[in-house]
């Protein structure tokens, strides 16, 4: 019988792409999502891709009673993938308590919910923001985590510490230890080849890729490039952009690893491509892959931005048997096709 996986935040950008990959690998999925950053329409779109509508419940995991009731109702789950969190860097600076309350309470109550039953396998959605601006590049999983640049990144760091201490503490009453993988995402971009699911930012996009596609679609008049005076080849910041479908497939590999490796308490994996691109290189890729000319201008630096980061991905390749394999032009083109499908749907 197919393993049953609870996917919290499963209607979000990375969550929805992961649900597609899980279903296509034969997993039974139950989504918990509070719809704060998504819509129920995503459920129908997932079903159009996989021809099976995932089970789904609207639940706010930061509401302890609601969270525990949800986990009680799904105590037969074999594993949990925890995406549910607020994730806008800029918003987290403006509203830190919303981020600490939502992101930490949701994790703590999810753990409590799992402890009610016997499910102990957890894949946690972490972030490369835990590294801050690394002194050495590429970053490995042993690279020291630095001071978080924002409350969002700090909730990811604190959550990793909570999970680490959880696996070091006394065993739960049933003697079954937690087995946890924390996946540190770099910069997920792009959209499913069907253009039925993709990134759906609320309001003005904070992230680069949706701002580029909305500018090309005429929704935004001009892309601001936040600074070209960094110590990088073209002066603009460098990031490790990873195709969202490759990232989703890494979650399936993580589930299979947890199934196979009984020993792991907690482990960490960088999920990037190992190749960094500057902002101007992403713009060049977008113009090359889509044939769209992009209207942009260089402005001042964005507070909190780091200069450059990209991943050493050898650990995920070695242990998870996973490697991202999608190039930057395919990623930027998939983002544009998704934007065009949104325009058609209006
Ligand atoms: C990328 C680059 C900006 C917008 C994100 C997530 C974070 C984490 C890592 C998952 C930067 C520049 C952007 C714009 C620009 N992901 N930029 N003009 O800041 O690396 O962090 O990925 O956990 O949660 O927020 O991504 O897309 O905001 O910025 O010049 O309008 O694009 O300065 O150099 P970032 P981003």
Per-residue pLDDT of 55-105, as tens digits, reads 999 999 999 999 999 999 999 999 999 999 998 887 898 999 999 999 999
pLDDT-derived band at 340, boundaries 50, 70, 90: very high
Question: Which residue's alpha carbon is nearest to atom 33 within ligand 1?
Answer: 226
Using the structure block, give the residue that is written with the tokens 């003005």: 204
pLDDT digits (tens, 9 = 90+) for 179-233: 999 999 999 999 999 999 999 988 899 999 999 999 999 999 999 999 999 999 9
261 pLDDT band (50/70/90 cuts)? confident
Neighbours of 299 (CB within 10 A): 13
CA of 79 to the centre of ligand 1 (A): 30
Nearest residue by C-alpha to atom 36 in ligand 1: 207
CB neighbour list of residue 16: distance below 8 Å, 6 or more residues apart: 10, 38, 42, 45, 46, 197
> What's this model's pTM, rounded to 2 decimal places?
0.96
Residue nearest to atom 34 of ligand 1 (CA): 237
> Does 281 sit in the ligand 1 pocket, CB within 6 Å?
no
Query: What is the mean pLDDT of the segment spanning 10-34?
Result: 97
Q: Give the residue carrying structure tokens 């190749």.
A: 275
Q: Which of 187, 230, 281 to mutate to test the pocket of ligand 1 (most atoms within 8 A of CB)?
A: 187
Backbone CA torsion sign across 199, 96, 127, 71:
negative
**Does residue 225 line the site of ligand 1, with CB under 6 A?**
yes
Among 272, 222, 281, 217, which Cα is nearest to 247's? 272
Alpha-carbon distance of 23 to 2, in angstroms, equals 10
Q: Reply yes or no on whether the pLDDT at 1 is more than 70.
A: no
85 CB within 6 A, ligand 1:
no
Instruction: Give the pLDDT score at 2.
Output: 66
Angle at 68 between CA 63 and CA 74, to 5 degrees: 130
């Amino acid at each position: 019988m197919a393993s049953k996986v609870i996917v919290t935040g499963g209607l979000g950008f990375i969550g929805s792409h992961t649900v597609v990959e899980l279903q296509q690998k034969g997993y039974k999925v139950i989504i918990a999502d509070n719809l704060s950053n998504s819509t129920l329409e995503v459920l129908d779109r997932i079903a159009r891709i996989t021809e099976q509508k995932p089970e789904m419940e609207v639940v706010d995991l930061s509401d302890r009673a609601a969270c525990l009731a949800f986990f009680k109702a799904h105590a037969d789950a074999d594993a949990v993938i925890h995406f549910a969190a607020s994730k806008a860097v800029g918003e987290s600076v403006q509203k830190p308590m919303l981020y600490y309350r939502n992101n930490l309470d949701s994790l703590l109550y999810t753990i409590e919910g799992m402890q009610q039953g016997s499910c102990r396998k957890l894949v946690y959605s972490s972030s490369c923001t835990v590294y801050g601006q690394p002194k050495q590049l590429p970053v490995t999983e042993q690279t020291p985590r630095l001071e978080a640049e924002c409350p969002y990144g700090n909730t990811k760091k604190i959550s990793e510490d909570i999970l680490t201490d959880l696996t070091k503490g006394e065993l739960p009453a049933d003697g079954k230890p937690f087995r946890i993988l924390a996946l540190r995402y770099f910069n997920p971009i792009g959209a499913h080849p069907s253009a039925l699911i993709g990134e759906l930012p609320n309001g003005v996009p904070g992230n680069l890729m949706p701002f580029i596609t909305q500018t090309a679609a005429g929704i935004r008049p001009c892309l601001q490039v936040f600074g070209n005076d960094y110590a990088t080849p073209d002066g603009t910041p460098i990031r490790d952009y990873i195709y969202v479908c490759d990232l989703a497939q890494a979650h399936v590999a993580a589930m299979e690893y947890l199934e196979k490796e009984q020993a792991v308490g907690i482990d960490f994996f960088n999920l990037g491509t190992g190749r960094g691109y500057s902002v101007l290189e992403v713009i060049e890729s977008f113009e090359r892959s889509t044939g769209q000319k992009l209207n942009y201008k260089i402005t001042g630096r964005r507070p909190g931005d780091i200069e450059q980061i990209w991943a050493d991905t050898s650990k995920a390749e070695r242990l998870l048997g996973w490697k991202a394999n999608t190039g930057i032009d395919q990623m930027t083109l998939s983002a544009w096709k998704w934007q065009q499908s949104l325009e058609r749907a209006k």
